[in-house]
Structure 1
Amino acid sequence: MAARAVGFRDVLGVTEFRALFSAQLVSVTGDQLARVALSILVYDRTNSPGWAALAYALTFLPDLVGGPLLSGLADRHPPRAVMVVADVLRAAAVAVMAVPGLPLAPVAALLVGVQLLNPVWNAARAALLPQVLPGDTFVPGMGLLMMLVQAGQVAGFALGGLLVAAIGTGGALLADAVSFAASALFLVTGVHARAPRESSGVRWWRHVRAGWTVVTGDRRRLALVALGCVSGIYIAGEAIAAPYAAELGGGAVVVGLLLAAYALGNVLGMAALSRIPPERRARLLGPLAVLACAALLGCSLRPNLEGTLALLTLSGVASSYNLIANTTFVQLTPDTQRAQAFGFALTALRVSQGLGVVLAGLAAERAAPHGVVAGAGAIGVAAAIGAAALWRRAQPDSR
């Protein structure tokens, strides 16, 4: 008799996984509230799409430092402890950001500090998850985690506009601080302490270099990173959500809806992918990456709010290919270098997204938002085709 496939119910039966998932869910939901609040805060104060996009980009660019230099902490120290400390520090920083009347410069500095810790937390989670869910439980667990985290983004983005309208940007930032504190509580009470996979006596720089070698030494891992970086192009719709909402005649609520559309589509896409056999999922990597960008071409027709939301949702559905790329990358990476290698991959992803956000904001200073998003879609199609070709050539049977 064939063994029963491991499903979502099986991984949800693991107590530690439920705690780990709950920690990330509340953190992500609060983080999206903060992103909406900051985008609106900067746009209201400056009336500049470029400055609003720059503030949004600050949530990505610090990964250039935090990803490669700090992610390895979870390989050399207990991963749960690394996550808890990062949560506590982020909660404190965001609480200060919520102080009324705080100038934009200190807000930006605190935001950079918060974001420096994000890749550390995510890399620690990547190192911990295969230990919490070994063997066949890992892939469905990762899929459920990514899918429901996107659901948290939907809730955070959709409620963000409403909350900012109701309680202001300071209240939304305080909600983010509370979410980090709740995340730390879930981890302390629900996840077991584990020893690091590599001795803390290993020199820091040697460990960083080893993680870089793990990523660059395998064409498959490099191709997966390239596919992930395509998201830095189709993120344009999120980058200029505030001016795009203004073009559509809406305010804070419409900003939240635009941001939520992509995340909602991503949830739907990952739910659909979970029903497709693994051997077929791998073949969908390239086509879905292309579709994630091609969907944005419809914005060139200047659709109304409903049409724009539909296009962004479709892009989100196709972007679920990142579930395949993410799980494959983790499985291809050695245990002792998983957090560090994941940090490098996350750095490439976040930097591409940060640059995409900045470029979209600068373009929106001179062109209509709908045209900027459509142009990003066209560039993204070409980039996705190239990354998909790299992935095909990296397969062992292609040599």
Structure 2
Amino acid sequence: MRQSADMRTRPASLLRQRKFALLWAGQSASVFGTEITFVAVPLTAVLVLDATPMEAGVLRALETVPFLLFGLFVGVLLDRRARRSVMIVADVVRAAALAWIPIAYALDVLTIAQLFVVVFVLGVMTVFFDLAYQSYLPGLVGRDRLTEANGKLQLSASGAQVAGPGAAGLLIAWLGAPVALAVDAMTYVISFFTVARLPADEVAKAQPDVPAASVGAAIREGISVLWRHPLLRWCTTAAVIINLFSAVVMSLFFLFLVQEVGIGAAQVGLVVAAGSVGALAGSMMVGRLSRWFGDGPAIIVSMALSTLGYLLVALAPAKSSAAFAVAALGSFIALFGVPVFNVLVVSLRQISTPDELLGRVNATARTCIWGAASAGALLGGAFASVAGLREAVLVGAAGTFLAALVLLFSPVRAVRDLHATATGHGPAAEPRTGPTDQEQTP
């Protein structure tokens, strides 16, 4: 009887709430389109515009550089104005920018320089949209349901990683790479219409009797808030570490599998697909892992799983019948842990941060993480050129273990419930010393 009563009081799924369902539908369409762009843009550069290796590298860099250039400033802006309007403008600009590629291709005027501009504009608008929606979400669903909301959004993203590349391949074979990008442009139009129907949010209210700070001071305040919060500080530090070293692995991933492990292009595609399936499975298991271990230990377990996966990839035997199986299993395990960490840590940031600081705190964390990934990619290439592919991948994979180790000796391991801790109703967020800070397993 008690179980039945608990089931009756359990809140209905967020997808039954019109506001969240609109945001989820628009984001699901958008991330699916993004997977098409992930394949179609580089193929347009290589197959249509005969891009050189340097031009292909620049194209990839332009996707992430906007976060490093503008992330902190966008965070300040989003703490001083309504977030929904920023999301709407970002969708309109992204749709228009992507639509230019098939139009220019049809007019026979498309150049690699135009592709650079489009990718850079997309990157800038993605900075605005991602930070705005992460700051808008707590007011839409309530802070007590953020883990569920982020879990559903992450599940859509992981599902798109599974289905998107295959759909992109079919569209490119049917329409050609430039024209296939029109499909992604339409997904931003869908996102625009769904976001436009969401309730308008108010500008975050600053604390009374506190004068408005300069942009520089506002950026420093966001950095300070993130650094002073023990859980956010440790989780962000771990994210920087794992992104630094995993970028070493991923920057060499395809080259390593083909040249060092010796598997063919078709098998490489299946290894990537195994990783996408792993990410989807991880998205579906976030809730269960949190219930089994508690939120803090689940974050540490996710880090440990990613490390195990990267090590399996690095240890895949060269030119062996087992090489493909080991690499595919490693890819699956490595990406299984990623959505678990993302859902729980993003939810922690949203729960713990006052609304008037959300934009800056999100921007600070994302800028540090993207910066680490960019540095890791450069380090991977440099180290491989000196020591060799396998050695570089092994160093990167082993380095990811430091992230789990950092969290294991941090207050994160004692957290059972992120929401209770962040709101002051759970274990203290400040570090504790002595043997009493070890939580019991359920």
Q: TM-score, normalised by structure 2?
A: 0.78
Q: 1:4-153 maps to which residues of 2 (within 5 A)?
A: 4=7, 9-42=12-45, 45=50, 48=53, 52-98=56-102, 99-100=104-105, 102-153=110-161
**Cα pair 1:51 1:361 within 8 Å, conserved:** no
Partners of 1:209 and 1:75 in 2: CA distance: 13
Say which of 261, 277, 287 aligns to 1:264.
277
Give the aligned partner of residue 327 of structure 2: 308
Which residue matches 1:291? 305
Please point out which of 258, 261, 264 is paired with 1:249. 264
Residues 222, 69 of structure 1: alpha-carbon distance in 2 compared, 3 angstrom cutoff: same
The letter of the residue matching 1:398 is R
Letter of the structure 1 residue corresponding to residue 144 of structure 2: D
Aligned AA (1:77):
R
Structure 2 residue corresponding to 1:228, chosen from 232, 236, 239: 239
Give % identity.
Answer: 22
* 2:290–2:298 CA contact under 8 A, matched in 1: no
Within 2, Cα distance between the matches of 1:329 and 1:85? Answer: 25
Which structure: larger Rg?
2
Q: Which residue of 2 aligns with 1:213?
A: 224
Segments of structure 1 that go 5 or more residues without pairing to the other structure are none
CA drift at 1:138: 2.3
Task: Provide Cα deviations, 1:96-147, integer angstroms capped at 9, x if missing partner.
Answer: 2443363333322331221122122112111221111114322212222222
Q: Is the partner of 1:396 in helix, strand or coil? A: coil
- In structure 1, what residue type is equivalent to 2:236? V
* Aligned counterpart in structure 2 of residue 396 of structure 1, from 430, 433, 442: 430
Matched with 1:337 is: 357
Are residues 177 and 224 of structure 1, via their aligned partners in 2, closer, same or farther at CA, if it must alter by over 3 Å?
same
Distance 2:288 2:8 in 1: 11
The answer for the alignment partner of 2:178 in structure 1 is 170
- How far off its partner does 1:326 sit? 1.6
Change (3 A) 1:181 1:235: farther
Q: 1:231 Cα deviation (Å)?
A: 3.1
State the Cα distance separating 1:308 from its structure 2 match: 2.4
Higher mean C-alpha deviation, range 327-336 or range 95-104: 95-104
Name the stretch that deviates more: 93-102 or 210-219: 93-102
Give the count of matched residue pairs: 394
User: In structure 2, do the counterparts of structure 1 residues 224 and 15 end up closer, same or farther at CA, with 3 Å as the change threshold?
Assistant: same
- Is the contact between residue 99 and residue 181 of structure 2 (CA under 8 Å) also seen in structure 1? yes
The 1-side partners of 2:309 and 2:152 are apart by 25
Inter-partner Cα distance in structure 1 for 2:40 and 2:381:
17
Deviations 1:362-387 (A, max 9, x none): 56667876665444212222344235
Give the Cα separation in 2 of the matches to 1:256 and 1:317. 17
Name whichever of 220-229 and 385-394 sits farther off: 385-394
DSSP 3-state at the match of 1:76: coil
On the 8 A contact 2:68/2:371 being kept in 1, the answer is yes
**Cα 1:397/1:318, change in 2 over 3 Å:** same
* Other structure's SS at 2:123 match: helix
**Closer/same/farther in 2, CA of residues 38 and 306 from structure 1, 3 Å limit:** farther
Contact 1:67-1:347 at 8 Å conserved across structures: yes
Which residue does 2:422 correspond to in 1? Answer: none
| Offset, 1:208 | 2.8
How far did residue 342 of structure 1 move? 0.7
Quote the RMSD (CA, aligned, Å).
3.2
Match of 2:438 in 1: none
Amino acid of the structure 2 residue aligned with 1:272: M
Partners of 2:41 and 2:386 in 1: how far apart? Answer: 22
TM-score (ref. length: structure 1): 0.85
Q: Once the two structures are superposed, what CA deviation does each residue of 1:207-259 show, in whole Å capped at 9, x if it has no partner?
A: 333222211222321111122221343245654565467553226xx666544
Is 1:181 matched up with 2:193? no
Q: Deviations over 1:61-91 (max 9, x none)?
A: 3211232111333322221111010111111
